[in-house]
Structure formats: structure tokens, C-alpha cells
Structure 1
């Protein structure tokens, strides 16, 4: 039997916890390290909320489900969590998986605050049920394209696999670059060997190669092939999707994994909250936290604020997105309607183009900010 929902701003009368569903990739083929960072941020946020008195005295309780980068598994998890009576959904890293979760949450009338996925079209039609913290792909990847142009790159090649996410990224890059005098040549990473990719780069006289492919493969193999090809010594390798952010990348590729610019969503300097949370995340993870961990923490901060103000009623929570005004680890979080984006959107999280320092691969250098 489902416990009746409390009036706005009140905790459950029986003292039961306020539950939120958490979607994260924790097993392969999901990006496990990204999932662990996201979950660490979410769990730290829950701990801080409960240490501060919870939701009007009731504990905030996460109910975690592993999506394993599988859209069908994610949709099934949304159904299960909705049936369990969670007040809202949080999380997810992979864009195609988040889209499946958002579509199902919209159909069920379950608020979903997406932490990390960037695909513009999280839902086919505009919805009030879904909000997002991560910047939309069209916003971040245009900033990345501006970085390439500013660095003098006009002949760009993309090694791409087949997926909605990679196709969307290729389209954004092509539209933005060609309008400014650049060219984008698409290479089929499934059909070409890494050696053949190198030959195509030489033939096309590309000055930059962007990896729009899965991790660890074929990304790592392509990086090694390009690094070892003397014909391509001046070619810049880029990874706008952020593969080099995580320690697995550095461990796998060593020095070959440095000097590969990627997008991350952090400010140049964290404020007091961000510094405190960053220290706690480092202790929890045993290594420096990625921006994904901060996204997890900010997700809980937003949901907790909404739950305190509006209670656990799903419709009230969804209606509260336009009224959110929360201090997050990376800046003030407010949601609005961005052109072409069907969900409520933080406009915008800070965006940087960074790379691992070749002389010190554990250190990141900021190359561009938008």
C-alpha cells in the first residue's frame, strides 16, 4: 500500500524516508568510472542533506539502480522505481540511456533531474517533468568548435561510431565549423582500422582528429596509432566527450593520453562549497574527483531544496523547476527554457576545454573557457 503523499513542505507523517531513484552505470559496457564518480557525488550530497536534518526531519534515501549503459534496462528501472513510490529520479551519465529514462519518466509523470547527459533531445517533445544540470551538447560542443578555430584548425576529421549521440555531435561541429570556413570530414571508426584512419588523415590533410568513439576501444587504439605515425606529428587529437577526464584514461595510455583537449564542466576556481565538497569527494574516491562527481552532488542539492519547499508530491516537484535557486558547487543553479531544448535546463554550467599536461599527466591545463 502506498503511503499518502504529504502536503507541500511537510515530511511523511509516519517518519518514513523520502526516497529518490538514482540511475548510474556501474557495470560494463557502461563507463564504470564515470558511474562511480557520479554515485560518489550523489551519496555525499545525500549524507550532507541528512546531516543537516534531512527533508523536514525525514531522511533522504537513494534507491540505486545500475543502468549498465543499456536504454532498455534504464527504462525498466524507471518503471520499477516509480512503482516503489520514489519522489523523483536523479543521475545518469550516458546520453542515450538518459534519453530512454527521460522518455519513460515523462510518460509516467515522474520528475527526473538528469545529472550528466548532454544530448539536446532528451525528450521528443517539451516536458515539464525533466530538468538537466549538464550543458546541452549543442552549447558545449560549439564552445569546443570555437576553441579549434581559435587554435587555427580548419580541416577537422572526426572518427565516429554509429549512435544518436555521436551523430548529433558531428552535426553540431559541422554546422558550426563550416559556417566559419572550416571543414569536417567524417571517418567511419567501425569500418576503418586505426592504421586506415591514419592514412585518411594524411590524405585529407587534417590538422585535428576528434574521437567520437567508445572508450576504451576503439579510442585507445586510434590514439596509439596516430601518436606513432610520424606523418601525423602535428595533428591534434581531441575528445570533446571527455574521455581523458578519468584516471582510467591516463592509466591506459600514459603519456599518449596527454595533450588531448576535452570538455569538462567546472569553473576555473571553486568557491568555498566546491572546495569543501571537492575535499570530501577526494577522500571518498581515493583520487581527485571529476566534474561528474560535482554534478552528482549538485543534483542532490537541487532535489533536496525542492523537496523541502514543495514536499514529495511529484507534480509539485515538476512545477518547481522554474523556481529553483540553489547555490551549487560550481555556481548558482537556476533552470530556464533554452531554445531548441525540450527540458528545463541550467543555463549554463561552466564549460572549459582542458587537457592533461604532457609533462605532468595528472595535472589539467585550461585551454579555453566559454
Structure 2
């Protein structure tokens, strides 16, 4: 029993990672309705509560049953490793109305009474209109729930990808899958990746490979089962979310300077947003060569990640660095 992903030999070479701001938005919407997902995110919930009260999220919630199928077209796997929210939203708006209607019917069937509810009937009566209205709602949810926090979320997700990419390089798929989630298991003899589920479902990858996507808001769950035409995908909880929403303490820079040295502490504290070596040197009034040396040490210590943007390399804090700058231990928040 479970959700099975059947690999062929060509699929073994086509496992890759991606980030999705649209997926985080969809899952943030779900988290508002699911107390079992809120433990680590209580500081975020307190911060967005007033603004979120102005959103009518019922149409999206109706397509996100507690168990069963969630409409894939409102949160499809991303088309590339680092797409923007705007690019993903355009994909939602371009959804075929007939296919979207079938997707909505499948999701509604997982909640007793939903297909016959006034809202449920309205969604499927005019799927072309519903697709655009749901896209509008996702855009508003992004701007309120996720966009203000996206730099912090993105740093967390990119640090997770870096960590698991190194595991993949060091130990192959077995080492990678062993650390993603307790409900995930890999059988090298049958080339099958299984997510434990009470029901049985199979997806043959068919040469497309598997997309692996970390998510902050899916915690503590794991998702898979994207059927054609979607790319086979597994979404798993990102590492380090215990430190994700820790507030910055006023005395943290001084303590951090004693730990790392003043120069490296200044560099780390200056990275509120991703920045290049040149930008940091200008911001700190320090020679670029000095900043570069500090960045190298901080990255080797696992406190920074880097990514190329055009001709620039920009640096961001990892979750460990966020916890150090905040001066707060990364301890879980009790479940409500």
C-alpha cells in the first residue's frame, strides 16, 4: 500500500530539485485551515492574521480536502528550478477549463457534501471563470501571506537543496531518500520510491525523472502523486524550519562578534537580503577582498549559500545563520 513512484534506469539520472513560490503560497493557504501544520509557524500566523482576515479563501480551501486529492492546477509542479511567482501564476491562468473542471470535481469528491454545496456547484459550472478567479485569489494570497517573507523562505529552501544535493553526490539516491521524510522509502531492487499511504496508487515516471521540492508550509507532511500531464514530483518538509521565524535580538550582533569575529559578524548581519560581494563591501565600507574572504569562511561553515544571478554571485543566510543572528535557539514551538 502507498503512493509508488516507479523508476526506469533513465529516471535515475533525471532527479532534480526546484523551488516554487506558488506551491508555498498554496500551502500557506492550507496551513491557515490546518492546526496540525501550525506549530512551527505560529509567529508567522500572528503576524499575518489581520491581513489574512481580508481574504476569502473558501474557494481554495474547498479544493484542498483534509485527505485525498487537491486540485493540481492551482499548485502545479514548477516548469523550472527557480521560476518566479508570476511565471507560475501564468501557468495557472493558462489551465484548460475542461481539465480544470475534472480536477475540481476530483477534489470536491474528497469532502462530503462539497460537490453539492453552493460554492462547489459554482466552481464547476463555469470552469473558465473559476480558473481566473482562483488565480486572482492566489495572487492576493501571495502578496499577503508569502511575498513579504519570501527572502527568508527562499533562503531556507535553497539551503535545504544544497544540503540534499551534497547527500545525493556523496551517497546516491539511497542516501538522499533516506533523509527526506520518515514516510518515504526507497527500494533499490525494484527502483521504487514509496510514500506510505492507506490507499494504493502508482506513477510510472516514464523517463521524466523525479522533481524534488522542499517546502516550509507542508510540514510535517509529504506530498506526491502528480498524475499526467504533470511532472512526477515529491514535495517534502524543508530542514531547519524550527529557526525560520525566530525574531532578531538586539544583543545578538555583539554576541555574534565574540563568536565569529567582528568582520564576519558584520557581514552576516548585513545580509538581510541577498547581496553580492561588491554590494556588501559598499554597504560595510570595507574592501571587496576583505568581504570576499569573510564570505568564503562563512560559506564553508554552512552559514551562507550562494547563487549566480546574471554576472553576479549573491549570498544569502542559511537557516543556521538566521538562528545565530537572531540569537535564539532553534527549538520547536509546541503544537496548539
What TM-score, normalized to structure 1? Answer: 0.26
> Which one has a larger percent helix, Structure 1 or Structure 2?
2
> Which one has a larger percent strand, Structure 1 or Structure 2?
1
**Comparing both chains, which one has the higher relative contact order based on Cα–Cα distances under 8 Å and sequence gaps of 6 or more?**
2
What TM-score, normalized to structure 2? Answer: 0.27
